[in-house]
Amino acid sequence: MSLESYRCDMEGCSRCSSCKWIPLAQIRSQRWSQVCPSVWHNDFHAYSGSGKLNVALSILDGRSDFDESAADIFYACTMCGGCDVGCKVYRNDIDLTDTFHEARARAVELGFARLEHLQLVENMRAENNVFGLPRDERADWAADTSLLDANSEQVDILFHVGCRFSYDESQRDDLLAAVEILRTTGKRVGTSGTAEACCGQRAYECGFDSELHNFGDDMVNRVRTSGASMVAVACSDCFGAFNYLYPRNGKDLGVPVRHISEIAAELAADGSLVGAFSTPNATAAARPRVVTYHDPCHLGRRGEDYAGEFDGPKIDRPDNTRRDGRGGRYDAPRDVLKSLPGVTFVEMQRVREFSWCCGAGGGCAEGSESFSIAVATERLEEALSTGADTLATSCPWCVTNFTSAREQMRADGDHREIEIIGISELAARQISGEVPVTITTTATTCEEAAT
């Protein structure tokens, strides 16, 4: 595809601004009614979904140059898809994020790529991970887990760990809890160890398509070698890559992709999730918590199943190829949370396909840090407004960004408390009545390790 191939999307924009808000029928308060972090933060139409389409059309028509300021507008975007869903709910049916992706690919071609994004891609090419940490250390976390080596042994489930979970010690408890959940299925679970590589999603979102293709081919080969009948992930970025971007870009894993929240929800439904974490010595009662849940964009609206392309007029487009967000994974993580002892579950106002983004996506955590943290802080405010003492989510990138935002709030003198936690770790804590693995405040994040 090319930027030119989305001309009809640009020309089809009616300037209705529905892409700036969650749908009218969903709005319960003005305070939590916006959906686009970019126009919210920059407060100027050009930064909205519609505005970006206008800028792209102006470039195609020769009324504007594709210059640094145009690139700034396309990069000031978390690629969250909120605008895309808003437009489709109102049946305007414009493919905004696909258009933005092509604009970013054009920015890379023209030499406007962000330095941080170039570094990210360089890291991936050198060490197979986004942080540039040694590839030989990718599986160090698994030293005591006895997971099977999927490179040499037949497995039922190939667990793709992902870059952040592999290297980020601060999220080790969530990762180890995910492993326990996978083991509870009774299937043979393995990983690719140090042969595992990045899914390529973060580079693709920044406009570097070839990384997705190269890492995609590698992943396809490793799945075939493993003999697995399922790929399991605990990272939402990896889920969105494998479930949508890979098939859309011709990378057929040949097996279904399941997020850990889906697997945990099935175990919770048949009563066996408790077996993953109950111990003979667990005597403490589950800590009472008020928990709210943040929908990661790539497990939700941007992680919908790929249903093929439709080349006809958009008015005839079948619902399952419209990508209006309804096919995201929203119920499974909520079912897990509601099943846990001690948990009172409350919802925020912007949820499911109308969720507010965590701010980490689209290369913003790397290239637009203050914007990224502002977006995460806004979500923490929304979570706090529910009265929750715990914000659970199912993506390590969201956990990282929310944690950074909370640290910034504390540095600014705001000491309101909310615990940020992945759902696997929360399940372990609530069921076991104790912290299953000690978390130390000095745990190394991958950003610290890379510097």
Contact between 355 and ligand SF4 per CB under 6 A: no
Dihedral sign for Cα 153, 216, 258, 366, please: positive
CB closer to ligand SF4 out of 14 and 69: 14
Among 10, 73, 82, 234, binds ligand SF4 (CB under 6 A): 82
Among 3, 6, 10, 18, binds ligand SF4 (CB under 6 A): 18
CB closer to ligand SF4 out of 42 and 170: 42
CB closer to ligand SF4 out of 82 and 207: 82
The C-alpha angle with vertex 388 and arms to 385 and 389, in degrees rounded to 5, equals 125
Radius of gyration of the chain (CA): 21
CB of 249 to ligand SF4, least distance (A): 19
Report which of 350, 405, 319, 363 is spatially closest to residue 82, judged by C-alpha positions: 350
Between CA 421 and CA 425 the distance in angstroms is: 7
3-state secondary structure (DSSP) of residue 167: helix
3-state secondary structure (DSSP) of residue 257: strand
Contact between 79 and ligand SF4 per CB under 6 A: yes
CB closer to ligand SF4 out of 71 and 291: 71
Which range, of 78-86, 205-213, 216-224, 281-289, touches ligand SF4 by CB under 6 A? 78-86
Contact between 77 and ligand SF4 per CB under 6 A: yes
Q: Which of residues 93-112 bind ligand SF4 (CB under 6 A)?
A: 94, 96-97
Q: How many residues bind ligand SF4 (CB under 6 A)?
A: 29
CB closer to ligand SF4 out of 60 and 220: 60
Contact between 16 and ligand SF4 per CB under 6 A: yes
Contacts of 155 (CB under 8 A, 6+ apart): 148, 187, 188, 189, 190, 226, 227, 228
Q: Which of residues 405-444 bind ligand SF4 (CB under 6 A)?
A: none
Alpha helices in 346-395 (DSSP H): 364-367, 369-385
Question: Which strands, in side-by-side order, build the sheet including 289-294?
Answer: 343-345, 289-294, 390-393, 419-422
Q: Which residues face 158 on adjacent strands?
A: 190, 231
Q: Which of residues 36-65 bind ligand SF4 (CB under 6 A)?
A: 36-38, 49-50, 52-53
Contact between 13 and ligand SF4 per CB under 6 A: yes
CB of 300 to ligand SF4, least distance (A): 13
CB closer to ligand SF4 out of 82 and 190: 82
Write the DSSP string, 191-213: E-GGG----SHHHHHTT-HHHHH
- Whole-angstrom CA distances from 373 to 49, 225, 268, 332 are 20, 40, 34, 27
Between CA 54 and CA 48 the distance in angstroms is: 10
Contact between 349 and ligand SF4 per CB under 6 A: no
Contact between 358 and ligand SF4 per CB under 6 A: no
Contact between 129 and ligand SF4 per CB under 6 A: no
Contact between 80 and ligand SF4 per CB under 6 A: yes
Question: In b/e form, how buried is each residue of 392-424, taking b as 16+ CB within 10 angstroms?
Answer: bbbbbbbbbbbbbbbebbeeeeeeeebebbbbb
Contact between 190 and ligand SF4 per CB under 6 A: no
CB closer to ligand SF4 out of 264 and 405: 405
CB of 40 to ligand SF4, least distance (A): 8
CB of 215 to ligand SF4, least distance (A): 23
Contacts of 17 (CB under 8 A, 6+ apart): 48, 50
Kindly list the residues in this chain that would bind ligand SF4 in the complex (CB under 6 A). Answer: 13-19, 35-38, 49-50, 52-53, 77-83, 86-87, 90, 92, 94, 96-97
